[in-house]
Amino acid sequence: MTKIGENIKKLRQVKNLTQQSFADLFEVSRGNISSYEEKRAEPKIETISKIAKYFSIPIGHLIEKNLTVNEILHFDNYFEEGDPLQNVKNLSKIPFLSREVLQEKKDLKLNMDKYPSIFFPIYNSHTFIALEYNSGLGAPIDFPYEEPTILFFEHLEVENLHLVEDKFGLYLIEDDVFIGKYRQEENELVLELNQWKKITFNIEQIQNFYQLYSVYKKVYK
């Protein structure tokens, strides 16, 4: 028996997809997805090929391995081979927003505790969030990163406001999210996406503002 059913279920969970939305991506029925996950049937090779290509996962891994969250997000080449995050005590657990979640822009902050988590070597007590960058996510024209980069944002702290000038940041509320650049305008700090969209920083809404902390990008050799 292959691992395809278990991996389809894991892919759905990590990407926050329902059985129906997953089925729609690959032109099969919701019942098909249910059958695959319950190991009552297996997808045709052309469907497996589509899934592997869409998620950039080798077909052999999709069929034979129990995929981890880090493999699905392509974090596997960050760590030493043969050490699949065994010592997670020394890693930070960070909520992860996939491209599918971000494209929906629905109840983003409200569902934070329901998202899958990434374990990554960030060592401080501040709050972080990780995003799967995609072209549908609003970002300044000079934003230097492309799909499928994973972006790590640190919650903005009052004591660091003077350090964010001209730095990239994130604005995240229930139904809106965009990446902008922090700029000082007279006596106000604004996060600017472009000349048409920007938001003035408000200390009472500081929980909605983040600053770019680090970036993970898979390098193909």
Task: Give domain limits for the chain.
Answer: 4-67, 88-216
This prediction's pTM = 0.62
Strand 177-185 with 168-172, pairing: antiparallel
Pick the CATH number of 88-216 from 2.10.109.10, 3.40.50.40, 3.20.20.100, 2.40.33.20: 2.10.109.10
CA distances from 175 to 40, 44, 134, 164, 165 (A): 38, 38, 17, 24, 26
What pLDDT is recorded for position 89?
56
Q: Is the pLDDT of residue 154 over 60?
A: yes
What pLDDT is recorded for position 88?
54
Total number of residues shown for the chain = 221
4-54 per-position pLDDT tens digit: 999 998 888 777 788 998 999 899 999 999 999 999 999 999 999 999 888
4-67: CATH homologous superfamily? lambda repressor-like DNA-binding domains (1.10.260.40)
